[in-house]
Amino acid sequence: MQAEFSIRISGTSPVRPEFPPPSTGWIGVSMSRTCRSVRLLVWEAMVLASGRMALLRDRRQIVCQVQQIAMYVCHVALRMPMSTIGDACRRDRTTVRHACHITEDRRDDPHFDAFLASVERMALAAFGRWEGVAHD
């Protein structure tokens, strides 16, 4: 009869399935990279929604709006903590909170709400949900 044994690689710890890894969204992707990817996703969606010429006129304002929307999507759709989003975007947690408030207030416009809902669906399709991570 063979004895049962297990092999443990040095430096690893057992995985606790009820908690996500501390620094990854899904396997091998850091939260920082996820935030940057969501920002690029929002930028491309804005280009498609408004046309490239509109983006070139007020580029600084558009960049600010893209950043705010990306922070909002990371927090609301992907359920990332505000402090983590702030670290990933090199901003303070209060800046993320302000961006979320601004974006939430803009949802009163039905066109913006439809745009934001589609961006949230794209982010969820690309990155999935952050189960087990509570909001700030």
Q: Which domains does the chain have, with CATH numbers?
A: 31-127 (1.10.1750.10)
The tens digit of pLDDT for each residue in 30-79 reads 778 888 889 988 988 887 877 665 556 677 788 889 999 999 999 999 88
The verdict on pTM exceeding 0.85 is: no
d(CA 54, CA 46): 10
What pLDDT, on a 0 to 100 scale, did the predictor assign at position 19? 41
SS3 107: coil
For residues 97-103, average pLDDT = 94
What pLDDT, on a 0 to 100 scale, did the predictor assign at position 99? 94
**68: nearest Cα among 47, 48, 44, 38:** 38
The answer to whether 55 and 47 are in contact (CB under 8 A) is yes
DSSP 8-state assignment for residue 24? B
